Chain A
Amino acid sequence: MLVINTIKNSARITLRNNWLRNSLANFNAAPTNFTRTFSLGLALRQQQPDLVSVIFVRANGERIKASGKVGDSLLDVVVNNNVDLDGFGACEGTLTCSTCHLIFKTADYERLPDKPGDEELDMLDLAYDLTDTSRLGCQITLSKDLDGLEVHVPASINDARAA
């Protein structure tokens, strides 16, 4: 299973590295809403029926709308939409960190097709604010029926200070 995951992830990483380079180029620029609004543009969605919309909810309640293609991981969505989450996806989806930790609503968590594997759970064990419905964003693949998915982003900075 690990081997399969690794191969799956390597393929993803190759793709993602290009995206990362592009998106990180804008990383240090002041965040703008332009990209997000644009990627959610209605016209665009109609042209690409495979687009799945996702809402990331920060600890302070701020809602960030983004979208990805069927087959993308939630990490891909964050990277491709330039979602402004510091440090998210540090290991680039290779199951060696827990920086893409996301918290799902119970109903959403239960309808996710793939259950977390040992390697994912091992990494989640190191995450701050771990819940029973926590997953790593890099392991969640978008499907059409996840359209409108809402996930919570834990407030890790505050936790580190409390620790």
Chain B
Amino acid sequence: MRNFIYSRRKLLLNLYSNNFSTSAIKTQNVQQATTGATKRICIVGAGPAGFYAAQYLLKQLSDCAVDIVEKLPVPFGLVRFGVAPDHPEVKNVINTFTKTAENPRLRFFGNVTLGTDVTLQELRDRYHAVLLTYGADQDRELQLANEEQPRIISARKFVAWYNGLPGAEQLQPDLSGRDVTVVGQGNVAVDVARMLLSPLDSLKLTDTTDYALEALASSKVERVHLVGRRGPLQAAFTIKELREMLKLPNVDTCWRPEDFTGIADQLDKLQRPRKRLTELMLKSLGEQSNRKGTPSIGKQFLPVFLRAPKAINQNEMEFAITELKNNAAVATEATERLPANLILRSIGYKSSCADAAINFDAQRGHVCNLQGRVLKDNSSKSVEPGLYVAGWLGTGPTGVILTTMNGAFAVAKTICDDIAAKSFDTDALKPGFEPANKSVVTWSGWNRIDQYERAVGKAKGKPREKIVTIQEMLRIAGV
């Protein structure tokens, strides 16, 4: 009994000692150990896929302990670093993720990189199952000459820049020219266009990083061209994003009437979502012709269809005019040049291979898998027992959070099914991850960062001011 009191006191003392890190890790360990959970599952990547999978596993497997390992000191992945700052409602999912993280059977290890700090083999040795959800941190390239020039940047990097991803603060996009050409027409493309065209005053109330607000304040950008290879019926943006664009104050959306030849006749054949999106484009086009003659009120958003990137020139970009054949864009001999002081490439993300032991399809940029079960090799259909993938790392970068949520639930269900079917061993004792000689941020460390960011933001009328360097994050977390 005396020993027990002593150890409790020691634990409390540890909690209040300056060494937050060690004591926080111990607290996490003690918490998890007291739950008696025996099946150990490690999730690599603390984005939406990782958290939704964790939520499902903790609920369905009452005897499982889940550890989430995250490369950055902070959680939430693209919810923090991808979702546009002027879409704070989308970030409400963080409340649910936080509840999941507060489950005593979950431990969070931030600032731990797969492939550098820990290998996949080590994780597989220390856990019954490993689920990879580290997302897509690379972008597809145009494969054109001059693509490495500083005035051609990926939309992914631009998003990371205004959202404060550590390392992105050095981007310094050149916003001194009048025209920005965005190559690609997905929702990321629309997000960056909106960030460039939105009135600064409204962005000041968001968690856009201060350095990005400063750069946007002196921006000379007036026109954003949004260029796609295919036609209006294949547009990749969704209707909510377009409607938002159309409502942006002091921004005119200018369509090219010739892009819409024959489109209205096809409305009846379309499924409801595509039909409503097309109707909205046609409605906006109609309003534009009524507007003719009145001078433009300010900035311009210029969607351009049926143009495929061909060459990057000084302050302009050359596109091949395309024709649609069986829904695919086929380049013709004809070309068109669009002004482009800055080019934002937004033609998709791809994942990177974090550890050489992962069966990775470098061509397509994702982990080879069958419904979330990682394949041993591409030719056979045999799977690595106890190794799974979910989210964009497995599916490729498509869909909204709902898509990722459903996908993550489905893979988590597969894990539960495989455990029930004894597809891999869950009886042997597994030790779980033990950080050695590494500054690890636990959930309480993240809470300190979170509180700090909110407090600094509050003083400026922003929901938070993000810390943008890893060093500073670690300092605030107390590790």
Cβ of B96 < 8 Å from any Cβ of A?
A: yes
Interchain CB contact under 8 A, B403 and A125: no
The smallest beta-carbon distance between A141 and chain B, in angstroms, is 19
User: How many positions in chain B have a CB within 8 Å of any CB in the partner chain?
Assistant: 37
Residue contact B90 to A122, C-beta cutoff 8 Å: no
A90 with B59, Cβ < 8 A, contacts A28-B103, A99-B405, A160-B410 known: no
Q: Is the CB of A157 within 8 A of B406?
A: yes
Within 8 Å CB of A157, what residues of B?
406, 409-410, 413
- Counting CB contacts under 8 A, is B58 at the interface? yes
Docked Cα-Cα span, A113 to B286, in Å, equals 31
CB contact under 8 A between A126 and B402, given known A86-B56, A86-B409: yes
Partner of B406, one of A24, A92, A123, A159: A159
Contact A156 B95 (CB under 8 A): no
**Contacts A87-B52, A125-B239, A128-B406; is A24 near B92 (CB within 8 Å)?**
no
Q: Say whether B55 faces chain A, with CB atoms less than 8 Å apart.
A: yes
- Give the residues in chain A near B238, CB-CB below 8 Å: 122, 125-126
B422 at the A/B interface (Cβ < 8 Å)?
A: no
* Least Cβ–Cβ distance between B130 and chain A, in angstroms: 21
- Give Cα A127–Cα B272 distance, bound, in whole angstroms: 11
Tell me the complex Cα distance, A127–B56, Å: 20
CB contact between B410 and one of A20, A123, A161 (< 8 Å): that residue = A161
B292 CB–A CB distance under 8 Å: no
Chain B residues within an 8 Å CB radius of A30 = 59, 62
Report yes or no: A27 in contact with B59, Cβ–Cβ below 8 A. Answer: yes
- Asked if A91 CB lies within 8 Å of chain B CBs, one says yes
- What sequence of 0s and 1s flags, for each residue 124-163 of chain A, a beta carbon within 8 Å of any chain B beta carbon? 0111101000000000000000000000000011011101
Give the CA-CA distance A157 to B402 in the complex, in Å.
10
Smallest CB separation, B104 vs chain A (Å): 9
Chain B residue contacts of A86, Cβ below 8 A? 55-56, 59, 409
- Whether, in the assembled complex, B448 has its beta carbon less than 8 Å from a beta carbon of chain A, the answer is no
- Describe A's contact surface by its main secondary structure: loop
| Cβ contact within 8 Å between B402 and A97 | yes
Which residue of chain B is the closest to A26 with respect to CB atoms? B99
What A residues does B92 contact at CB under 8 A? Answer: 13, 90-92, 94, 96
Bound-state Cα–Cα, A138 to B55, Å: 22
User: Residue A27 contacts which of B89, B99, B247, B401 (CB distance < 8 angstroms)?
Assistant: B99
**Once the chains bind, are A91 and B93 in contact (CB under 8 Å)?**
yes
Instruction: List chain A residues, Cβ under 8 A from B90.
Output: 91, 96-97
User: Taking A122-B243, A125-B276, A130-B272 as contacts, is the C-beta distance between A99 and B59 under 8 angstroms?
Assistant: no
Q: Which of B93-113 contact A (CB under 8 A)?
A: 93, 95-96, 99-100, 103, 105
Question: Beyond the given A90-B402, A126-B273, A163-B403, could you list 19 further A-B residue pairs with CB under 8 A, ordered by the A residue number?
Answer: A17-B95, A24-B96, A28-B100, A30-B62, A87-B406, A90-B405, A91-B89, A92-B95, A94-B92, A98-B402, A118-B243, A121-B276, A122-B239, A125-B276, A125-B277, A128-B406, A130-B273, A157-B410, A160-B407
Binding site for A on B (CB under 8 A): 52, 55-56, 58-59, 62, 87, 89-90, 92-93, 95-96, 99-100, 103, 105, 238-240, 243, 247, 272-273, 276-277, 371, 400-403, 405-407, 409-410, 413
Cβ-closest 3 pairs across A and B: A160-B406, A94-B89, A125-B273
Residue positions of A touching B, CB distance < 8 A: 2, 13, 17, 20-21, 24-25, 27-28, 30, 86-87, 90-92, 94-99, 118-119, 121-123, 125-128, 130, 156-157, 159-161, 163
